[in-house]
Amino acid sequence: MSGVRRMKVGFLGLGAMGAAMATNLLKSGHEVTVWNRSPAAAQPLAALGATVAKDAAEAARGDAVLSMLANDTAVRAVIFDGGVLDAMAPGTVHANHATVSVALARELAQAHAAHGVEYVAAPVFGRPDVAAAGKLNILVAGGPQAIERVRPLLDAMGSRVWPLGEAPERANVAKIAGNFMLAAAIESMAEASALTRAHGISAADFLEVMTSTLFATPAYQGYAKLIAAQRFKPAGFALPLGYKDVGLALAAGEAARVPLPFAGVLRDSLLEALAAGDEDVDWSVLSQVSARRARLDERGC
């Protein structure tokens, strides 16, 4: 960590993404205090040298606080109701990596300013394996000085930081829009591979052609492999989170009077997948929705 100041940082939320991110902070030499609603998730980090806080507020007493929580409800419960905002000393920077609504992003920025602490929105692109490798793409928006203060932490977790201005909600709306595009890509592959299956071409063969030619990009290639193999567990990005994010896109569109007609289609497809009963799956399970609609199994395709 030559040339980089060792920072005292609290990390809140140790799901698959958060645990990988906190691990990279430890590997970079930072002093990390961790907290998770389910305490067992903190033990692997403790074995790597992290301090385990008894509550979220205790983890918030440092140079910076990083949080990777599931949704708006969880962020409210931890940051507001859990005492984190009150526990942060004036001048502390909170970098929020969660994908939250535009409305909550604005509320968080106002609340932090009222408490004399800095707020940076820093949602990420990348699945857990990318997080573990320290190669996340991190979208950031907030005060330039606040971003600069947490830059060593962001650099420890990502391959590139993408500044998007001073209004924190800009980073969140970019993340929401990006996830909308990913959902659209998955839905298009799901429907197209159902079509080819009905005409005797396997999903694996068709998607290999597409991801080697017209759509030779990491997002298409990664999800195509899951669809071809019908491998939806463990979930790299869980179905309920995908449903949540498409809902956030619709809400952001409504607030700004931006029609998103295809987002409505995606929401209904994701809801249909949820109605099938298994939530602990990757959102690429949308391919099964398209197959069921076409009754491909009944037709022997």
Phi, psi of 31 (to 5 degrees): -90, 110
**Taking Cα atoms as reference points, which of 18, 15, 13, 71 lies closest to residue 247?**
71
**Taking Cα atoms as reference points, which of 157, 164, 180, 145 lies closest to residue 252?**
180
Measured distance CA(3)–CA(38) in Å, rounded: 36
Catalytically annotated residue among 175, 225, 233, 244: 175
The structure tokens listed for 162 are 């993408």
DSSP string spanning 195-255?
HHHHTT--HHHHHHHHHHTTT-SHHHHHHHHHHHHT---S-SSBHHHHHHHHHHHHHHHHH
Measured distance CA(135)–CA(225) in Å, rounded: 20
**Is position 233 annotated as part of the catalytic site?**
no
Torsion of CA 20, 21, 25, 28, to 10 degrees: 70
Q: Which residues are catalytic?
A: 175
